[in-house]
Amino acid sequence: MREIVLDTETTGFEPRDGDRIVEIGAVELFNHLPTGRTYHQYINPQRDMPKGAFEVHGLSTEFLSSKPVFEDIAQDFIDFIGDTVLIIHNAAFDMKFLNAELGWIKFDPLPMSQSLDTLTIARRKYPGSPASLDALCRRFGISNTARTLHGALLDSEILSEVYLELVGGRQPDLVLDGSDAVDETQSMVDQTEWEPAARKKPLTQRISDKEKAAHEKFVAALGSDALWIKKR
């Protein structure tokens, strides 16, 4: 089963305020393992680079001025990803920007159902623990020493390793065929909406008849206002 691990870099946080995508990086996986195929593109945002954004990814206005605009690379990008599941850390952010850019050039938006958010998976799997990409690298012992600045392709490559650990680690023997991988990824997608189900079969009573009788005698002594009596 084919998957795409994807990351973007931007000029800021909100496309409605004029922020744009400046870099897209993507790594192709098959049965959760990298195939060696990647997509990488710098993009001219047609605006100045804010100081705060430059400090994050190091992409300057001057460097990006000679790069193609999003409209010129959009079709190649869509052709690369197709309808494949997109593995993204904090998917809402990247999907918001991708769909804004696609909308501005009259392309169809990408459905949110096409994305799988590793941030959500990590928070559910390790509740209360840090779930940033750097924190997950520390948890899984994944080297990110080359990550002095954010970079879309490098972050996608690192995320592909983190994702592999989140879905069970590097155990290719467990991935027997494409249908197994499809079922596993669909299960991960479904878990973004997971809620605990009611227990199908009540637990077996573990108190003895003697203990039960002693409890009922104690409750009776409390009178008619006792909580246990009211709930009956």
Q: Which residues contact 184 (CB under 8 A, 6 or more apart)?
A: 167, 175
Contact between 132 and 162 (Cβ < 8 Å) = no
Nearest-CA neighbor of 11 among 54, 71, 62?
54
Q: Give the C-alpha separation, 25 to 17, whole Å.
A: 23
Q: Where are the alpha helices (DSSP H) in the chain?
A: 51-57, 61-64, 70-81, 91-104, 118-125, 133-140, 152-166, 178-190, 209-221, 227-230
Mind telling me the catalytic residues? 150
Tell me: the pLDDT tens digits for 33-49? 999 999 999 999 999 99
pLDDT at 226: 63
DSSP letter at 95 equals H
DSSP letter at 232 equals -
Nearest-CA neighbor of 3 among 82, 98, 73?
82
pLDDT at 185: 55
- Residue type (1 letter), 119: L
Q: Give the C-alpha separation, 18 to 28, whole Å.
A: 30
SS3 at position 227: helix
Residue 202: CA count within 13 A, CB half-sphere = 3
CA 9 to each of CA 69, 88, 102, 163, 217: distance values in angstroms, whole numbers, following the listed order: 14, 12, 16, 19, 68
Ordered structural domains, the chain, with CATH: 2-193 (3.30.420.10)
Low-confidence ranges of the chain (pLDDT < 70): 148, 170-206, 224-232
User: What pTM was estimated for this model as a whole?
Assistant: 0.74
SS3 at position 225: coil
pLDDT at 118: 98
